[in-house]
Amino acid sequence: MAEEVIRIEDGILTLKCGKEITIETIYEFKEQVEQDSESAEVELVVADLSEARFLDSSGIGFLVSLNSRLKSNNKNMYLLRPSEQICKTLELVRLISFFNIIEDEMELP
């Protein structure tokens, strides 16, 4: 059973990610997130990575693609509370500065 939860509230699409963001886990929610994020109702996307401990190349690709698509539509994406392991992975592939990283939802605009 999937650990991911997609919620839209007050113009914010929140994707609560599970422990692993891999080709197997993103397959189940990728299309739904992409479709929902295109909605005029959605102003920004928050990927809650607080429980995530592992991110593979497909997971990275999904996050990069989603962030790029949102930017082209003048929307923003935020990574919420990524673990030290996730940050190290993003640093390793030189993508840490590509994302807006926040530690608390109160930091959202």
Q: Where are the domains of the chain?
A: 5-107
Write down the residue that tokens 């673990």 correspond to. 83
The reported pLDDT for the residue numbered 4 is 72
pLDDT digits (tens, 9 = 90+) for 12-59: 999 999 999 999 999 888 999 999 999 999 999 999 999 999 999 999
The reported pLDDT for the residue numbered 28 is 80
Exposed (0-12), middle (13-18) or buried (19+): which is 41, by Cβ within 10 Å?
A: exposed
Domain covering 5-107 assigned CATH 3.30.750.24 in the classification? yes
Say if residue 1's pLDDT is above 60: no
Furthest-apart CA atoms within the chain: distance in Å: 35
The reported pLDDT for the residue numbered 10 is 94
